[in-house]
Each structure stands twice: as structure tokens, then as C-alpha cells.
Structure 1
Amino acid sequence: MPDGVTEGRNADLTLPRFDRDFACRPILDPAASLLTTASPKIVDTVRVAGEVVVADGRSTRIDVAALTAELAALSS
């Protein structure tokens, strides 16, 4: 993106938390850690077109408890 991230523009952004996965430690080179040892556990926040779709590692769009109950009902 030539102009970077600026207010008012749509952007998709993922913010990692390397402290959530011991495989990423020690963090001597964040880019190398992200590419070679990171797992989905490190995803903290995801914004898509300005909307937060993952916060604190959890989806803001899916009610996990309700989905789990629905799936459990299907299997019984």
C-alpha cells in the first residue's frame, strides 16, 4: 500500500500477540517468528474494512457458545 494506513481508508489489519504461543519465543526477529513458528493462537485482533472481526483472539461475529450448543443438539 503506497500511502500506508490512514484514517478514513478501508484496510485489513491483523495484530499478533507473540506471548500467546511459546513456540514463538524468544522473539529476536518478529517477522521471522511470524513466518516460521507462529500459529493461529497468536492472532489478537483482526480488522476487515475497518470492522473488528476478531477481538482478544475471539470472533466478534460468531457466538461460539450458541454454535456449540447447536452442534451438540445435532449430534444427540
Structure 2
Amino acid sequence: MIREAKGTTSAPGLDCDTAYGQLLRRMTSPDAGVQYAVVVPSSALKAALRVPRRVRDLLQVTVYEVCDDFTVIPH
């Protein structure tokens, strides 16, 4: 799994956009088994989900939310 993780910041929208861009640049493997993910805290989830599900599905990118109690939830 190739992941791009972002922490809590004052600009979650910009940071999520940056995370997607960084992840896209890492999509170099022709292996269909490679998984991609954007990992964000709950406070940035809304920004991470601005990329429509259809696009995330086409790119095979899963968004993972890390809650305050460190529970991880795939979206």
C-alpha cells in the first residue's frame, strides 16, 4: 500500500489537495495489486472527500480517517 498522510493543520483543504498530488506522482507501478490511500485526521475528512467517489474509484484511492482515539476508518 502506498499512502500519503497529513496531520492536523490550519489549511486542511490545501493539505489534502497536496496529498492527492503527491500520491498521484507515486502511481508508477503497473502492478494491479498496489493499493493507494490518503490518510487524514477526522478534522480533514471533509476536505479529503471533496474528490468525488467516482474519481477515487477510478484511481483506486481509498481515504482513511484517523480518529482522535486512533481508530482508523476507511471511506
| Normalised TM-score (structure 1) | 0.25
| Normalised TM-score (structure 2) | 0.25
Of the two, which has the highest radius of gyration? Answer: 1
Higher relative contact order, structure no. (Cα contacts within 8 Å, ≥ 6 residues apart): 2
